[in-house]
Structure formats: structure tokens, C-alpha cells
Structure 1
């Protein structure tokens, strides 16, 4: 992914190539309400970076900043682990109640859960908690 922009701190025009896998992962972990092109979102993030120290390539600074953003997202998910687990359980309980009889044995419930795990899922991720977190700060 090639990104052209002007660094805000110095006004230096910069062209940088971000590896596609890093760019896509960063975009996936930095939700945005704005309807903007992917390169514009990355460009806006890179414009915020300071000049690198002498002898350090700006490529390393840019990639390190994107990786730090991804790791921060991962840390927020890990902190939210218990709540996330509870949300998953809460979502499954209504389905489970309709899938098995109230008198079902534990073995029957586990068998139904195994069957449920084989159903293909279409995953859609929600960033509600991160949006609330961003709005609160």
C-alpha cells in the first residue's frame, strides 16, 4: 500500500510503502465512523508521527507506530476478556434453550453445542466498546 502525504511536524513530503498485511490489519483494528478511503485513514495516522531520530529510517518509525496501534487494540481485547466471554455466553443461551429440551442431560447439551460448532459462521465484528472507550476519553 503506497501512501503519499506531508508530515505535519516538518512539512516534508513523504512517500512510504506500508506492507499490505500490516495496513489491512491496522485498518481492521482501528475502527472509524468516517467514510474515508483506507489510504486516507493511514495517511492521517502517519501525518501525526514525529521525525525519526538521526540514523533511524522513517519506514521503521511508521511501521512501529502501526504495530503499536494493533498491539494496543489487542491489549484492550485482553482486558475485556471476561466481559467478552460473558457476552458470548449471553448470546448463546437463547439459542441453546431452543435447541435442547429443558430436561436434557449435560451430554445432550454438549452434543448440541458440538453440532452448533460445525455450522458455518459469517463473522461481523462490532466495535461498540471501542467507540464508547474513544468517546469517553
Structure 2
């Protein structure tokens, strides 16, 4: 994708070509509530970058920034996955306490969990509104 923009820090007009696959992945992992064209969103992100260091090409700086954004999104998803797992465990604990005796052995607890696993069930998230549902990953 070819992007033309003016760097905010220096006012320098810049044209840069970012690989399409990187742009598509970045756009997919940085949802926006603003209705803007894809090139505009990337342009706005690149305008925020500082000048590269001595001997560092701006192309590498730009691509590194997009990759860092993608990795930050991935880390957020992994953290949210841990939160989901914790919520599931919290939801199971009361059931488990009712399904076994307080003096149950570890083997009896594992058997109770195994019985519970055989029950068909599904996990659903609930949100106050559609906007919260669409941007739940932005919460930190």
C-alpha cells in the first residue's frame, strides 16, 4: 500500500510503500470506531512516528511500529484469554463445591470435574451495549 503524508514532527512530506499483508494485518488488529478509509488510518498512525535514528531507514521504523501494534494486540488477546479462563474457573468453583464432599480426595475431585466435562455447555460473553461488545479488547 502506498501512503502519502506529512510527518507531524518535522513537516516533511513522505511517500512510503508498506507491504499489503502487513497493512491488512494491522488494520484487522487495530479496530477503529471512526469511519475512515484504510489508507487514512495507516497515514494517521505513521504521522505520529518520530524521525528515525542516525542510519535507520524510515521504512524499517514504520514497519516496526506497525508490527509492534500487532504484537500489542496479540498480547491483549492472550491476557483476555487468561481473564476468560479465570472467569470460567470462578464459575465452576461453586458447582464443584456442591458436587463433592468437603473431605473429598484429589482423585474424587478430578472424577467430578470429568463428569462435568461430559455435560454439553457453551461460553458466552455479555455486554452492556453493542459498542462495548465491538471494542471489548480495548479495555485494559
TM range (shorter): 0.5 to 0.7
Which residue is equivalent to 1:24? 24
**How many aligned residue pairs are there?**
106
Kindly provide the CA deviation profile for residues 99-132 of structure 1, in whole angstroms up to 9, marking residues without a partner as x: xxxxxxx6xx58x79xxxxxxxxxxx943231x3
Kindly provide the CA deviation profile for residues 75-103 of structure 1, in whole angstroms up to 9, marking residues without a partner as x: 1111111233478x7xxxxxxxxxxxxxx
TM-score in terms of structure 1 length: 0.66
Which residue is equivalent to 1:96? none
Which residue is equivalent to 2:103? none
Which residue is equivalent to 1:121? none
Which residue is equivalent to 1:54? 54
SS state at 1:32 partner: coil
TM-score in terms of structure 2 length: 0.65
Q: Summarize the alignment of residues 34-73 of structure 1 with structure 2, pairs less than 5 Å apart.
A: 34-73=34-73
Q: Which sections of structure 2, spanning at least 5 residues, go unmatched? A: 89-114, 122-132
Which residue is equivalent to 2:77? 77
Q: Which sections of structure 1, spanning at least 5 residues, go unmatched? A: 90-105, 114-124
> Does structure 1 conserve the Cα–Cα contact (< 8 Å) formed by 2:29 and 2:73?
yes
Q: Which has the larger radius of gyration?
A: 2
C-alpha distance in structure 2 between counterparts of 1:21 and 1:127, whole Å = 23
